[in-house]
Amino acid sequence: MAPLLIVATADNHLSRYHARMTPSRLSERRLRLRQGFAAVVTYAIEHRAGLLLHGGDLFDSPTPSNADLLFVADCLDRLHDAGVRVLAVSGNHDTPSGTTIQGGVPPLSPLASLHGLTLFPAGTVGVEEVRVGGQRLNVAGYTPPSGQHALDPLEVLLQSEGADAEVFITHASIEKHAYPGASEPVLRFESARRLPNLKLVVAGHLHKFVMERAGQVHLVAPGATERMTFGEMDSQPGFVALEYDGGRVTSVTHVPTGAQPRVSLTLDPERVGDDPHGTARQLIESHGTPDTLVRLVVRGRVHGETYAALKLRELQDYGAVTCFQFELDATGLYLEDGFRQDVARGVRVSQEAEIAEVANEMVAAAEDPAERELLVAARETLLGEYA
């Protein structure tokens, strides 16, 4: 019997919003995100996969655009016609936090009823018996409900009718790889070892590829199919192809997907001579293209003359016309006190920077994912007024 090919993906974040991006550029950026998921679908069809498992956050919010809904419906139809069975959970981004948002119904739910997708609901372990490629598998799925941060989804699985499942899909971090300081569901190795039949866990949420072993269990995070932030510069976007043979995972392959060029630059104005503005423009010009997302971080302590010579507004305007998207981060820029008073941190140079600093502290302190998303949206809206 030939091994069963399983394709796993997560964190495609379709319909992602970007502050300070023009409508045409936003449309183009969202097309790039669709191309990441389209690569997964094409691979599954061309390599005759039996299963496609999705670990959540297909969409960036519970209210994706109609264009992205139509795109996903077409992808599901293609997979169905090719005989690829699709099973999925929602993620913390595209699961409504309550009934006041889209009636509490995730965007994949109506697509599931029309296009041959099995979607496991939030807050309850679901189990589906799958017969494909001559093999029979029990696949369990669980979307952690909003607000349950200290949860281990494997502990929930242990106490459910899905405890005998061979495959488990969920949306959570994996032990040793949780985001520092984050309060979120985490899959524990010890819990995995207590499930005697479990062979494979597919987990969305981490935007980098991760593969860990806990006894006979492979815990796999496919990672995102595109870089979503500048903090993901060191990770290669992609998805995972697995072979399952005779009741065990025999191979795990990370399949890279393309990523839009992204560059992060740093400038200390007091260390670049008499023309910090010209130096900054040269940095932008040498790295920025009409296809590149560029961030310029200007930081350090500066005197008033240096700050004036930076001409931050002109830099923002120049970057915006030179790059696909340009982000000028001056939150680490401090103005030295003119009277040489003993100021521990210096004087923050702009209201925009102060808003960003306070908002970032509030986001970091928020424990509820829904509250965090709301604060991020409020921050981007406020900062957008300064663009």
pLDDT confidence of 385, banded at 50, 70, 90? Answer: low
CA distances from 196 to 131, 161, 163, 168 (A): 21, 14, 9, 13
CB contact burial 24-58 (16+ within 10 A = b; e otherwise): ebbeebbebbbebbbbbbebbbeeebbbbbbbbbb
Mean pLDDT of 14-22: 87
pLDDT confidence of 346, banded at 50, 70, 90? Answer: very low
Mean pLDDT of 279-294: 95
pLDDT confidence of 180, banded at 50, 70, 90? Answer: confident
Level-2 CATH architecture, domain 4-256: 4-Layer Sandwich (3.60)
**CATH 3.60.21.10 in the chain, residue ranges:** 4-256
Task: Write out pLDDT tens, residues 106-145.
Answer: 788 888 877 789 999 888 999 999 998 888 999 999 998 8
Contacts of 261 by beta carbon, 8 Å cutoff, 6+ apart: 289, 291, 292, 293
DSSP string, 311-361: -HHHHHHHHHHHSSEEEEEEEEEEEPPTT----SS-EE--HHHHHHHHHHH
pLDDT at residue 110 in the model: 83
Q: What's the residue count for the chain?
A: 387
Amino acid at 175: E
Q: Which residue has the higher pLDDT, 136 or 376?
A: 136
| Contact assessment for residue 13 and residue 201, using Cβ atoms and an 8 Å cutoff | no
pLDDT at residue 342 in the model: 39
pLDDT at residue 341 in the model: 43
- Nearest one of 183, 140, 135 to 164, comparing CA atoms: 140
Give the max Cα distance, the chain: 81
pLDDT over 70 (residue 352)? no
Among 189-193, 268-272, 339-343, top mean pLDDT goes to 189-193
**Whole-prediction pTM:** 0.84
pLDDT at residue 105 in the model: 75
Average pLDDT, the chain: 88
